Amino acid sequence: MPRVTLEPMTQEHFADFMEAILPPYVAERAAADHVCLRTAEQYARRQHARLLPDGHLTVGHRFVRVLATDSGQVVGGVWFWIDDENKQAFLYYISILPEHRRRGFASSALIAVEETVRAAGCASFGLNVFSSNDGGIALYRKLGFRAVSSYWNKPL
């Protein structure tokens, strides 16, 4: 498994990251909610604005770039949240650049994030994953995550 370093994002990195993760999230959201892409994008942008009133400086939210330790090259990014009061953490998004996928960087990055949240005293680390994301589900299971609930819907 490749070694990675996590580096805090600057405002510019954060803006680029948020725009890069938007299209895949919007596509998944549209499919899951049975709505058009425009409606899903409006929802996603409102959701991000609500979650991040102070952008990448919003308390508790952390945005890090994932760098390959051997080359120093940026291979992806992660957005996670640490709830200091309740000692819980939540993974909002992990993204590995297409040319670096399937090489172990996501596993290494999540292990590094887990070390960060454990060091912050968190007792749990949660996430949501769309049921169509087979690769993500396999990754999370491999790293010890287990489903604790399931949200279902049907188009009307």
Residue 131: the pLDDT is 92
Question: Each residue of 43-62: b (16+ CB within 10 Å) or e?
Answer: bbeeebeeebeeebeeeebb
pLDDT of residue 1: 85
Instruction: Compute the C-alpha angle 12/57/52, nearest 5°.
Output: 95
> With 90 as the cut, is the pLDDT of residue 102 above it?
yes
**Quick check: 103 pLDDT over 90?**
yes
Q: Residue 111 above 90 pLDDT?
A: yes
CATH superfamily of 4-142: Gcn5-related N-acetyltransferase (GNAT) (3.40.630.30)
C-alpha span between 73 and 78 (Å, rounded): 15
Residue 81 confidence (pLDDT) = 98
Question: What is the pLDDT at residue 33?
Answer: 95
Report whether pLDDT(99) > 90: yes
pLDDT of residue 85: 96
Residues 48-82 pLDDT 10s:
999 999 999 999 999 999 999 999 999 999 999 99
User: Tens digits of per-residue pLDDT, 15-54?
Assistant: 999 999 999 999 999 999 999 999 999 999 999 999 999 9
Contact assessment for residue 145 and residue 94, using Cβ atoms and an 8 Å cutoff: no
pLDDT attached to residue 11:
96
Q: What is the mean pLDDT of the chain?
A: 96
Q: Which tokens sit at 147?
A: 């489903």
Alpha carbon distances (Å) from 63 to 5, 78, 95, 141, 148: 13, 6, 11, 23, 25
pLDDT value at residue 48: 97
* Residue 21 token pair: 């993760």
Domain ranges across the chain: 4-142
Q: How far is CA 83 from the centre of its chain?
A: 16
